[in-house]
Structure 1
Amino acid sequence: FLLGQTYRLLLNYPKAKEYLEEALRLKPNFPQAQLMLADTLLALDRPKEATPILEKLEASGYEPGQTAFLQGMIQVKEGKYSEALGYFRKAEQDPRVAQEAAFQASLALAALNRLKEARSTMAKVITLGPETQTADFAQRYMGLLEKRLQDIRPFHIGASFGFDFDSNVTLQAGGAGAAAQTSGQGDIVFTQTAVAEYNFFADKPFSVLTQYAYYENFHRRIPTYDLLSHYVAVIPTYNFKSGRFWLPFSFNYADVQSDKYYTGYLLTPTFLYLINPKVGLEFGARYNRKYYWTPLFLQQDDRSAKNLGGSLGAYYFFKKQKGFLQARFSYEHDFATGNNWDCSTYRLLLAVLYPVTDKLKFNLFLDMYLQPFDHNFFSGQTVTGFAGDPFVISPARHDRVLLYGIQATYEILKGLEFNIHYFFTRADSNILLYDYNRHIVGCQLGYRY
């Protein structure tokens, strides 16, 4: 027994197990050796072998506090946090293990999303022995609990103000593919945004997030491209141990120079599966009903469409899931009213979020997509006095688009962030009207509560 105890203290668990089992072979009714063997089996990640030993000790009434503590640890390993909590509460009655038991009880409460109880229990851990290593761990964990409590606060609001230089303002709002003219004009752009969210059942596995967002920009020289948009969304979400499923449904309305420009309804069911804490796979689908309301010269230029698609992505998380690498491939098809806009889109997104410190983070992305269009491009050229003469044949449009962006964000105060950013777009099209470059550089100050 003493050899087993010595090896246990030296953290040589296989040797400790060997000698403790020998001690019990020589003296089967030896509760002290049984308790230490159960503890050693847990350290070896063999909870099923420890369970019958602890059940016998519980029935005999030997060291009820320590026995209950080890039984609670077995339930944690099996993901049974409610049962574990009951054992830890029982173990708290024993002063020798009260602080450790309270610490584990707080972790179990957090796993059950009972965060306010977890916070008060963790505060109790500190008062039970402020100078201990366990209290030091508890103090650090309290900060994480506070952050999680903020995250599940049901109501959030935010606002931001930005300043940019846009080298190619005269792209029609709604997408890089809708260039109004090839050359473009640059301008200074002021932006303002606001967002309000309310999350029903925020602390439950199933929740319903509701969102409203407002966006508006103003151009110093070219006000004809001033944009105002409103966004409303309902997002049912189910969280489980190894992932999340959410079903966002949103409505978007946009005005350009106070004229109705675009409305859209978007449904994007998405499933994120965590293979382990560092690697996740994302599966998505989308249905978007888009309406463009600008007057048309040619029916072929009607961009209103039904959009269907899907995506497959992968994440690699690091720095306690505060940073990630992302890769996502997606395909979608526009079934447009006008033949000029029927197209497929093959898209690859690569992105990284890297937190340098708790306050400073960098975000980079590279977004590349190919857009082969289904029909020959109809320009409406006039031939022999007839507009859009069918004998004037243009090739089917084919776009290759690259978007690149880099952004640095710094948290000035809690909830108050400042970022600087640069975005570049290169659209390479065989139809000159849609071939362009665009640079956007600027900064933004935002607050979220």
Structure 2
Amino acid sequence: MKRLKFPVHLLVAIIFGLIIFSPSICPGQQSSEFLFSKGVVAYSEGNFEAALNYFQQASQLSPEDAEIQHYLGMTQMQLGKYDLAIKSLKKALSLDPTIKELHYDLGVTYFRAKNYPQALSCFLKAEKVQPQRAMVYFYQGYIHYLMKKYNLVAPPLNKAQELDPSLTQTCQFYRAMSLMKTKRYNEAEKEFQATIDTAPETDLAKAAKTLKKRVAALKKEEKRWSIIPSLSMQFDDNVTLKPDELPAAVKVSDEEDYRTVFHLVGEYRLFKNECWSSVGRYTFYESIHSSLHDYDLIKNEVNFNLTRRGTLGEGGIPTTLGFDVNYSHNLLDARPYLETIHFRTTWGLSLTQNSFLQLQWRIQDKDFHYSVINSQSNRDGLNNLIGFNYFWFHCNNTRYFRWGFFYDHDSTIGSDWDYDGYRFMLSYFLPLWKGIKLTIDSEYYYQDYKNVDSVYFQERSDREYTWSISFNRDFHSNLNLAFQYLGREHNSNIEFYEYDRNVYMLTLTAYF
């Protein structure tokens, strides 16, 4: 950190004043202004021990002087007395909030004390009062790097480099490091080369050369595939047939049962470059009930995903645009039951350093393979869905709050199943202790059916409430154990469609 600057003409005036007036001042009668002036001189000369002595004496005489508290805090920081420095700087800020440098100096003090979240908070406040100070943005980017929030490093470093070109090589180096940490190896190689080209003889350039070679090796080693199997033991107090592809239950047993669920996901990255990536995915799902085998479900699913990363606007807001096609084939009690195919597009925007918005649109075609009682009960058709999820992260991005809304419309061959759906969602995630993580989800879903039911001869209106709570913990690097409870209350103005359900799940997941 640069030493606190002090105007030369003011320093000369202080020294001149000391020469003229000091003989007439007795040692026991020194004013706080005189002691403060001597402290500033000692501080400017780097004699922090002497400066501390003067500022402490001045503070005793004028404890409500914000400037004295400011210099006292800066001196304490230089001497490594961070707790005292923070206390003094906070007092100065409370005495005179108009001193613009205080937020920055507090940020530097917290940074030196390795309290990175508080430091970041101070630098964000400093940005509002000193928007042209390059180091405000540099510290923000560097703190994001130290806190492993690599996707947030580049924007503030870009701003710091724009305001102060002398920071160019350092900003290039940490952008490259962040790209390497997020496995964006091609971009990292280019940024490391830019670091070398800026000033080839510096220590940063030498480090960049070594790391560039490391990136080249990592590109060769990078794994393109992953396999994620899981095994779940579940108890359901009202076994219900409701595949993931469907917004409403198809069949309710009104009986309880135990089941074993096996789930397997295999992914293969088809390609990846600076802007584009593509992944192919296969999913297998099988549920086996202890007694109600009519509800045993097997699903095979294939998905192709294409993603583009970029930035939006002059501020360089990180964005992600995704497209995916999904085909699913379901067997019920070993017989063909349901086929679906959907096309979906998503658009994600990092609105701020701790908020993310994802927009989604999807169209889905459903083809059921079971016989229907009459043409009005045929559920084959199209489902259109549009909506969003908003994520707000806090506590150093270790916790998040999510809320979302989705509208969907089912247009089916049978008039009984045409509806408009409105889904509201709330979630909260937080780490607890000993590596245990807690997720709480809640959902309200309203379905307004458009036609008179062909069996019950009235228009149908359903309201569904779903809530779940999950505790999970990682073991080593490739195992996770989770306990989850799910509750659902489905209400309808037609009594036949009403049901309640509680499911308890214990799941072991492996990552390869």
By the TM > 0.5 criterion, same fold? yes
Distance, in Å, in 1 between the alignment partners of 2:375 and 2:155 is 69
* 1:401 pairs with 2:472: no
Q: Deviations over 1:344-403 (max 9, x none)?
A: 101101111212358321111111111010110011xxxxxxxxxxxxx61111110011
Partner of 1:77: 158
1:54-93 aligned at under 5 Å gives the runs: 76-78=157-159, 88=169
Paired residues of 2:275 and 2:309 also in contact (CA < 8 A):
yes
Partner of 1:207: 277
Residue in structure 1 matching 2:132, options 23, 46, 49: 46
Paired residues of 1:154 and 1:202 also in contact (CA < 8 A):
no
Residue in structure 1 matching 2:444, options 354, 357, 368: 368
Alignment CA distance shift 1:275-1:250 (3 Å): same
Q: Which runs of 4+ in 1 moved over 4 A?
A: 4-15, 84-87, 100-105, 107-112, 115-118, 172-176
Partner of 1:427: 490
Partner of 2:249: 178
Question: Of Structure 1 and Structure 2, which has the larger fraction of its residues in helix?
Answer: 2
Alignment CA distance shift 1:434-1:179 (3 Å): farther
Partner of 1:140: none
Alignment CA distance shift 1:203-1:180 (3 Å): same
Paired residues of 1:308 and 1:333 also in contact (CA < 8 A):
yes
* 1:256 pairs with 2:319: no
Moved more, 416-425 or 312-321: 312-321
Distance, in Å, in 1 between the alignment partners of 2:376 and 2:166 is 66
Paired residues of 1:263 and 1:290 also in contact (CA < 8 A):
yes
Q: Deviations over 1:232-254 (max 9, x none)?
A: 11111112352211112111111
Higher relative contact order (CA 8 A, sep 6+): 1
Q: Deviations over 1:50-90 (max 9, x none)?
A: xxxxxxxxxxxxxxxxxxxxxxx999333889xx99953xx
* 1:113 pairs with 2:184: yes
The residue type paired with residue 186 of structure 1 is E
Distance, in Å, in 2 between the alignment partners of 1:202 and 1:356 is 36
The residue type paired with residue 339 of structure 2 is T
Q: Deviations over 1:116-173 (max 9, x none)?
A: 968xx9xxxxxxxxxxxx9xxxxxxxxxx9xx99xx8431111000000011114464
1:369-388 aligned at under 5 Å gives the runs: 369-379=445-455
Secondary structure at the aligned position of 2:285 is classed as strand
Alignment CA distance shift 1:378-1:239 (3 Å): same
Paired residues of 2:179 and 2:188 also in contact (CA < 8 A):
no
Distance, in Å, in 1 between the alignment partners of 2:243 and 2:481 is 26
1:32-431 aligned at under 5 Å gives the runs: 46=132, 76-78=157-159, 88=169, 106-107=177-178, 113-114=184-185, 153-171=223-241, 173=243, 175=246, 177-181=248-252, 184-202=254-272, 204-240=274-310, 241-357=317-433, 359-379=435-455, 394-431=457-494
| Structure 2: gaps of 5 or more residues | 9-42, 47-70, 76-98, 102-128, 136-153, 193-203, 205-214, 311-316
TM-score by length of 1: 0.68
RMSD of aligned residue pairs (Cα, Å): 4.0
Q: Deviations over 1:89-123 (max 9, x none)?
A: xx8xxxxxxxx9966763476589338968xx9xx
Distance, in Å, in 1 between the alignment partners of 2:347 and 2:181 is 24
The residue type paired with residue 493 of structure 2 is N
Partner of 1:441: 504
The residue type paired with residue 373 of structure 1 is Y
Distance, in Å, in 1 between the alignment partners of 2:448 and 2:172 is 62
Question: How many residues end up aligned between the 2 structures?
Answer: 348
Paired residues of 1:245 and 1:270 also in contact (CA < 8 A):
yes
Secondary structure at the aligned position of 1:364 is classed as strand
Question: Of Structure 1 and Structure 2, which has the larger fraction of its residues in strand?
Answer: 1
Alignment CA distance shift 1:116-1:357 (3 Å): farther
TM-score by length of 2: 0.60
The residue type paired with residue 411 of structure 1 is D
Q: Deviations over 1:232-290 (max 9, x none)?
A: 11111112352211112111111001111111111221111111111122221110111
